Amino acid sequence: MIANKKRPAAWAKLTFITGVAVIFLLSCTAEEKQSLPSDLENQKIVLETTLAFAQAVNAKDLSLFRNQTTKEFKAEFSHEQFETVFAGFIKQEINLLPAAKLNPEFHIPPILSDDGTLILRGYFPTRPSQIEFDYNYLWRNGGWKISGISLEINPVTTHKP
């Protein structure tokens, strides 16, 4: 009989602890969810990312940029893989700093996906070539952190009628 009396108390304690854990997890999840930033904020995010990458290229040290990415990005792409993919920017001494004087333009409207990824795709209208970007971000530690990057320098083509 004594065992039966202790079991409901233990069950109530376990239920309480489980309930507290669920509330804690929900509050953490709610804190991570964000709304789509404004156009001005998205432009600022893109500019900051591009300039951070430009500074890493100019310093010939891409780890300066990679250190600013999410842990998910770092887990998926080693330092060596990242260096290999973007080594051409350093080798060709590509200067991305002219982007600092321009506002990025978006190919598609900014998207906040169901999984919380902020997707920003577009270009800086630099000449004679333009900087094209495809950036993904995740909300981490109170800010948008890069979780995916594609950068290309493409010649501007003019269409003749």
Q: pLDDT digits over 47-92, tens only? A: 999 999 999 999 999 999 999 999 999 999 999 999 999 999 999 9
The per-residue DSSP string of 75-100 comes to: HHS-HHHHHHHHHHHHHTT---GGGG
For domain 36-155, the CATH class is alpha beta
State the pLDDT at residue 36. 97
Q: Which residue has the tokens 């330092």?
A: 79
Tokens standing for 98?
């002219």
- Answer yes or no: pTM beyond 0.85: no
Alpha-carbon torsion (74, 77, 80, 86), positive or negative = negative
